Amino acid sequence: MKRTFCDLHLRAKTTDPTFKQLVCKNAALGFGMIAAPLPPDFLREEHDALKMACQEAELDPVLRIDLRPRTPDELIQQIRRVRRKFEVVSIICDTKEVARQAAKDRRVDLLSFPALDYRKRFFDRAEAELSCNGLAALEIDMKPLIVLDGPSKIRFLSSLRRETAIAKEFKVPIVISSGASELMLLRNPRGLAAMAFLFGLEERYALDAISNVPAEIVKRNRLKLDPKFVAPGIRLIREGKDC
C-alpha cells in the first residue's frame, strides 16, 4: 500500500509570508499531509491561511497545538481546554514531572523534548513504560541534526540513539518531523529516513515514523472529533423515534 508521508511539525506561523513557500516545497518533496502549530485560541485567519496554503499545494492540513505546561496540573487543565479543538496535541516536556504526566495521559499524542542537553531530555525507561500504556508517541525533530555540528551534534545523536533504543524496546511509537522553519531545512521523506539511520532507526521503522505512525494518530483523532463518535468502535449511525 502506498505511504502517505506526513510532516507534523512545520515550525512557522501560518500567517507568515514564507509559510506558503514551505508548504509548496513540502508538497514538491513528496509529503501528503502537514501540520503547523496553532495557538490555543487561534484566529479564523490563521486557520484559513493553513487551509488555503494546503489546498493550493494539494496537501491534507492537520490542526496541531504545542502545549508547554509548567506543572502536571497545568497540563491537565490545558488539555481539557483544547483537546476537542485540535487533531494533534503535542506536549513540550521541559521538566520530568510534566513528561511523566504527559506520557500517561491518553489525550496526549506527541511527547516533545526540545532540549539539546541530554540531562534535560527526560525520555528514559520509566517514561517509556508510562507511554506504552498510553497513546503518546515520541516526536523527533530533524532540524538539530542539520544545523548542529561538532561535539554538540555528537552529543545530540547520542541522546537520540538512547531514546530510540528505549522506545523500540517498549514499543513506543516514534514520529519523525522536520521541525523546519526555513526552506533550506526541508528534506524529502526518504532523506529524513536516511538521516534517522544515524541514530539507530532501520529503514522500515524510519519510513513508518514519517508516514504510517503520524497518519494513524491523525486518523484516530479525526474519528474522535466526528460528531457521530460515541466511544472507540462505536459511532452514531442514525437517531430518531424510529431507531
| Domain segments of the chain as ranges | 66-223
β-pair partners for 66: 90
Determine the residue type at 168. K
- Calpha distance 103→123 (Å, rounded): 9
Pairing state of beta strands 229-231 and 234-235? antiparallel
Question: pLDDT at position 228, please?
Answer: 60
Question: pLDDT at position 141, please?
Answer: 96
Question: pLDDT at position 44, please?
Answer: 86
Residues with Cβ < 8 Å from 160, sequence gap 6 or more? 140, 198, 199, 200
**10-residue block means of pLDDT along the chain (243 residues)?**
92 91 96 94 88 96 96 96 95 95 96 85 93 92 94 93 96 96 95 94 95 96 75 59 57
Question: pLDDT at position 53, please?
Answer: 95
- Calpha distance 109→21 (Å, rounded): 27
Question: pLDDT at position 48, please?
Answer: 92
- Calpha distance 21→18 (Å, rounded): 5
Question: pLDDT at position 114, please?
Answer: 87
* Record: fold of 66-223: TIM Barrel (3.20.20)
Question: pLDDT at position 241, please?
Answer: 60
β-pair partners for 63: 36
Determine the residue type at 55. Q
| 69's grid cell | 505546561
